[in-house]
Structure 1
Amino acid sequence: MERVKQLAAHFTGPSQGRAALERKSPDDVVITMAIRSPLCKAKKGGFRDARTDELMLEMYKQSIAHSNIDPSLVGDICVGTVLTPDAMYAARSAAIAAGYPDTVPVQVINRFCSSGLMAVTTIANQIRSGQIEIGLAVGVESMSENPDKGGPAQSELISVNPAACDCKERMGWTSENVASDFNITRAEQDEFAATSFQRAEHAQKSRYFVKEIVPFTVFQKDPSTGERKRVVVTEDDGIRPGTTLEGLMKIKSAFPQWGNGTTTGGNASQITDGAAAILLMSRRKAEELGLKILAKHHTTAVAGVPPRIMGVGPVYAIPMALKNSGISSNEVDLYEINEAFASQCVYTIKKLEIPRDKV
């Protein structure tokens, strides 16, 4: 009878509001494990000498250690990654080396900056459709091994289209376009960045990240001998203690040749090496296995925007996600806007009128 009630509710359409969103159902797609590596400065930080496949191997090992399930129960693994120089053979070989049996398949997805999020969505949709019961979503990137060099050369058949030609331009250019097109000032960007650094410093000192960061054992080269030695990295190394608005205002423009030159190394994200993984399954399966449920995945929304202002995607995707979820903006407690430049975050906040204390 309970199952009949659930089906009846499903076919009469989605309920609206936060209470409906928080209602529990055996068919919910839930997260039972969420872990990440430390996030390290590319070329300079703890993972500067670690290869992409080594980061992946360690992420897989940690996922097995923290999942509290037999790895053979995983129905599929989806790895989100962007800047790899060749086909991602390592996605499967590293999984096997880490201890996943060869019965567990692996796929790779690339939607640039949101590749890790799309890995989550892919696994969630597979569970929701009944294709698998349990899945692992992974995100990994080594900017030390595979630095962003901009888009590749285009065929003349493509580059004759101005919008298509914009796809190969650098991200700094898109940040300056957003700032100039939407009147986002240098002062607004620096203010946002200062708050972000200060919050990150407070979070690290208060040990907020302890439950999500897992130690990573990687190789580092001895600068004097070149020998690769094993080291254990346990903390983010890119947080800048003592950052102030006054200090950020003194930093020179990173791209004075574009727009108003308001983007700097202080109000843009660092180039980072790191990895993360989450385990997803139905609520029914999680309860059957006696696992702690951390969160529920409800929906994902994606939106296309002109390549020259690619960072404004959240302005369009957030309302779509809210509509899909049947809730209003003011019912959300916390927004996390994962854009690389303060210009893009500030524009999103202003355009959608999101209270700053919710970001």
Structure 2
Amino acid sequence: MASNRLNQLASHLSGNSALPTQIGIKSPDDVVIVSAVRTPLTKARRGGLKDTHHEVLLSAVLRGVTERAKLDPAMVDDVVVGNVTPPGGGAVLARMAMLHAGFPEKTSVMTLNRQCSSGLQAVAQVASAIRDGTIEIGIGAGVESMTSFYGKGGMGKNEFNQEMLQQQNVADCMIPMGITSENVARDFGITREQQDRFSAASHQKAAHARKNGYFKDEIVPVKTKFIDAKGNVTQVVISEDDGIRPETTFESLSKLRPAFDKSGSTTAGNASQLTDGAGAVLLMKRRRAIELGLPIMGKYITSATVGVPPRIMGVGPAYAIPAAVKKAGISTDDLDIIELNEAFASQAVYCIEKLGLDYNKVNPKGGAIAIGHPLGATGARQVSTLLTELKRTNKKLGATSMCIGTGMGMCAIFESE
């Protein structure tokens, strides 16, 4: 049991001073999470947030993450925002959102783009800045309005250096994500049946979680407008994910045609959804949280990024997870919950099988196939989903991980309190 392993680790380390990031031991210098929230995730171009701008989504979680903690936004030193598709890297939009959310002009903000791990990279970057003393209090966030920006303004193949594209792994960086999924399925023998059964389970778990209110502690409702097909504008409050389909079964998924290759196995039903949403995580050192009387959700332990061949980018978590758990001084068996992004069922199944993970520990509330994958937001969303579920189930250790376009994987380790 993971709890026994924690006790063993604590006893082994008890002779040492309480250094930060030691699992099972609290130190004043630990980087802790005092609040982690997300918006509902809704279907791009069709869902409840389709008429909600990128900066409005971000403003909602920046305001929500401080309000949940009852922290004055003026105490936040820096905000790091992961996003992928906005023009200009979303820098102007992030500053607008931060100011709109009630943060003072003196609080700084930046954006970053490590594709699908951008939200988690933002959290890790803030944690590192807190750990080394650059800042005291920070927010790692992620946001994506795929309705607004996805598929717009991309570069065509002829706009790249043609000589460079003669190198195979360079050219492979341009392979469409759906084809990388097919490559993983073919190279490693992941069957259509495996993918569809995994996807049906994702919807069933997410539907169960939504029905029983397991998402409520992580979701910040969004007051916004919705424009219907006739152009009528309605003021609404979006409070639930709308991509979850409780009626989804293996049988219904098996009837769908391949989406990227006529002879392939990746379909619209066993791939992640295009989604709008945002997430935010508020971090500081333990001593600061105690001084301010703030509740502590959990502790950031460590993270790792690893590169893999671009043509099979989906295998990234199979290498990032072992790298992160090694840095944390644990094994994958010690993890109670693994939030593994379901970019495609092919790669998720591969990673689970490759690492010998317990399917019951992976995405207990469903994953991106059911909930959605707003590119820059997913990493921050997963932290909220993980920590609330660890608390609900009285478990301790968890990981968040995802594959990354162009061939990478990322993983972070957290301990619940």
Normalized against structure 2, the TM-score is what? Answer: 0.79
Pick aligned residue for 1:324 from 302, 323, 327: 327
The within-5 A match list for 1:60-209 is 60-87=62-89, 88-148=91-151, 152-153=155-156, 154-209=160-215
* Structure 1 position 274 matched with structure 2 position 277: yes
Structure 1 alignment gaps of length 5 or more: none
The Cα shift of 1:354 comes to 0.8
Residue type matched to 1:316 in 2? Y
In structure 2, the gaps of 5 or more residues are 1-12, 363-417
Checking the alignment, whether the CA contact within 8 Å between 2:60 and 2:220 is kept in structure 1 is: no
Instruction: Find 1:46's aligned residue among 38, 45, 48.
Output: 48
Match of 2:265 in 1: 262
Question: Larger % of strand: which?
Answer: 2
1:32-88 residue CA offsets vs partner (Å, 9 max, x unmatched): 001110000001001111221221222222233223111111111000000112342
Residue range with higher mean Cα deviation, 260-269 or 291-300: 260-269
Larger of the two Rg values belongs to structure: 1
CA-based RMSD: 2.1
Q: How many residues align?
A: 346
State the match for 2:359 in structure 1. Answer: 356
Residue of structure 1 in register with 2:293 after alignment:
290
Q: Does the residue aligned with 2:306 lie in a helix, a strand or coil?
A: coil
- What do residues 312-341 of structure 1 show as CA deviations (whole Å, max 9, x unaligned)? 100100100110000012111111111310
- Matched residue of 1:53: which SS? helix
| Structure 1 segments of 4+ aligned residues over 6 angstroms from their partners | 5-8
Find the residue that maps to 2:225 and give its secondary structure. strand
> 1:93: how far off?
1.8
Counterpart of 1:263 in structure 2: which amino acid? T
Q: Quick one: which amino acid aligns to residue 41 of structure 1?
A: K
**In 1, distance between residues paired with 2:275 and 2:182?**
21
Identity of aligned residues (%): 49
Single out whichever of 299-308 and 154-163 deviates more from structure 2: 154-163
- Residue 165 of structure 2 aligns with an amino acid whose one-letter code is S
- What residue is the counterpart of 2:365 in the other structure? none
Deviates more, 1:26-35 or 1:227-236: 227-236
- How far apart are residue 178 of structure 1 and its match? 0.4
Tell me if structure 1 keeps the 8 A contact 2:18–2:26. no
For residues 234 and 174 of structure 2, what CA distance do their matches in structure 1 show?
38
Question: Counterparts of 2:36 and 2:336 in 1: how far apart (Å)?
Answer: 20
Cα distance in structure 2, aligned partners of 1:136 and 1:239: 28
Partner SS for 1:175: helix
- 2: CA distance between counterparts of 1:161 and 1:36? 41
Distance change >3 Å, CA 63–CA 328, structure 1 → 2: closer
Q: CA deviation at 1:220?
A: 2.1
Deviates more, 1:268-277 or 1:92-101: 92-101
SS of the equivalent of 2:302 reads coil
Deviates more, 1:146-155 or 1:79-88: 146-155
1:120 deviation in Å? 0.3
CA contact (8 A) 2:81 2:140 kept: yes
Distance in 1, Cα, partners of 2:274 & 2:47: 10
Q: CA deviation at 1:8?
A: 6.3
* 2:236 is the counterpart of 1:236: no
- Aligned positions of 1:299-338 closer than 5 A: 299-338=302-341
List per-residue Cα deviations over 1:239-284 (Å, max 9, x = no partner). 0012111111111111224xx4100111111111000111001111
Q: C-alpha displacement at 1:136, in angstroms?
A: 0.7
Structure 2 Cα separation of the partners of residues 316 and 193 of structure 1: 22
CA-CA distance at 1:111 after TM superposition: 0.3
